Amino acid sequence: MTPKPLLSRHAPAAEAATLRYNAWVQGFHFSPEVAAARAAGGAIVALESTILAHGFPYPANVELAHELETTVRSHGAVPATIAVVDGVVHVGCDEPTLLALGREGNTFRKAGATDLCVYVARGARAATTVSATAVIAAAAGISVFATGGIGGVHRGNDGDISHDLVAVARTPLAVVSAGAKAILDLPKTVEALETLGVLVIGYACNEFPAFYTAESGVKLEHRSDDVAELAAILTTHWSQFGGGGALIANPIPATAALPADRINQAVADALREATAAGISGKQLTPFLLRRLSEITQGSSVIANRALACNNAKLGAQLAVAIAARRAAAA
């Protein structure tokens, strides 16, 4: 007999949330590929669009979009790049939309989970951040989201905390990332994840990855070296314990990692420049990533692309394993 969820006392709230999600999802535009996978209970991997519109220059951003989607498909899952187009949430973007995100990225606003409603209500165009992508993916019934790195606690300002952490904590999905962005305070970010109740598991690693490097010095409590085991842990987390989000920390491949001292110095220099220029809020991360690219002569961009594709690969493998477990239990 299948055990009942231990947190059944939260069932009324969960049921109400499900009803709200169902009403919201009716307004989503699903690509034919994603719609078919949802109907069949297939493996789907959510992908964000901010990395395309604001993270890479054209045409490298469109090339990355194609590479991420190809990587997901080649490992047995369906990619669902998420964006808001003319006020409609798209779960799975067609080629014209991917091209628009790449060529006209400056016309797409940067939407977090909190202000998604603004862009939808105004019929605007917006690229989704980690928080917005997580909320939309969960509402659409997608269990795995692959991204480069999540937001977190900013260096030198404990009060500047990305909403990514809260959104991930609240949504029942697995986020595969190379840790958090290197420009952040990683020890405090891990502490915040623990406080918010996000399950963090290192995939084949004992330390929280530092985005451009595999190690940060921040030890992780849980490690798994097997995708099938990860799928078992996650489905148990959600089905039996009413759990929320999980972060699967997947280190950058060794062949693409940057020297720690080099990238740490580059981050420090970029942060000083941002402070001197008074840059903060949503403009800070794009500025820092752009300056890191300039300081490292493009090495950071190459590393970013490599880790994003590595996360898409693991995300697809995990989505396939989760779908298989659910099909076997049905």
181 catalytic per annotation: yes
Whether 88 is in a domain gets the answer yes
Is 228 within a domain?
yes
User: Is 277 within a domain?
Assistant: yes
pLDDT, one tens digit per residue, over 55-89 is 888 999 999 999 999 999 999 999 999 999 999 99
* 157 alpha carbon, distance to own chain's centre: 23
83: closest CA among 51, 114, 58? 51
CATH (domain of 180) = 3.40.1790.10
Classify residue 4: in a domain, yes or no: no
Q: Considering the candidates 110, 181, 207, 313, report the single residue annotated as catalytic.
A: 181
> pLDDT per residue over 279-296, tens digit each?
887 777 778 888 998 999
Domain membership of residue 12 (yes or no) is no
**For range 14-43, the mean pLDDT:** 78
Is residue 5 a part of any domain in this protein?
Answer: no
Give the total number of structural domains in the chain. 1
For residue 11, tell me if it sits in a domain: no
Whether 4 is catalytic is: no
Q: How confident is the model at residue 124 (pLDDT cuts 50, 70, 90)?
A: very high
Q: Which of 4, 15, 33, 48 is catalytic?
A: 48
3-state DSSP assignment of residue 237: helix
Range of the domain at 95: 20-329
Question: Where does the pLDDT of residue 5 fall: very low under 50, low under 70, confident under 90, or very high at 90 and above?
Answer: very low
Residue 242, C-beta contacts closer than 8 angstroms, at least 6 positions apart: 5, 6, 7, 8, 10, 14
56 in a domain, yes or no?
Answer: yes
